[in-house]
Amino acid sequence: MSNHVYKQIELTGSSTTGIEDAIENAVSRAAQTVRNMRWFEVVDTRGHIEDGRVAHWQVTIKVGFTLE
């Protein structure tokens, strides 16, 4: 593992359900074009409010993947 080089990208996923689902949405969207994703880290957690309720959750993550 010690010779790998990783790249990190920053993504924001959204969900009407909750925090974990917003993260899963960002990861699965990125998986369409990025291979070898290894880990993520939450950068911040936000959301939009409509009619006095949380309408959707927005979570920004850094995702690291191996450069082959």
Residue numbers at the binding site for its own copies (CB under 8 A)? 1-16, 18-20, 23-31, 37-42, 44-49, 52-57, 60, 62-64, 67
CB of 22 to its own copies, least distance (A): 9
d(CA 58, CA 12): 6
Q: Could you give the 3-state DSSP secondary structure of residue 33?
A: coil
CB of 8 to its own copies, least distance (A): 4
Residues in the chain: 68
CB of 61 to its own copies, least distance (A): 9
d(CA 62, CA 9): 6
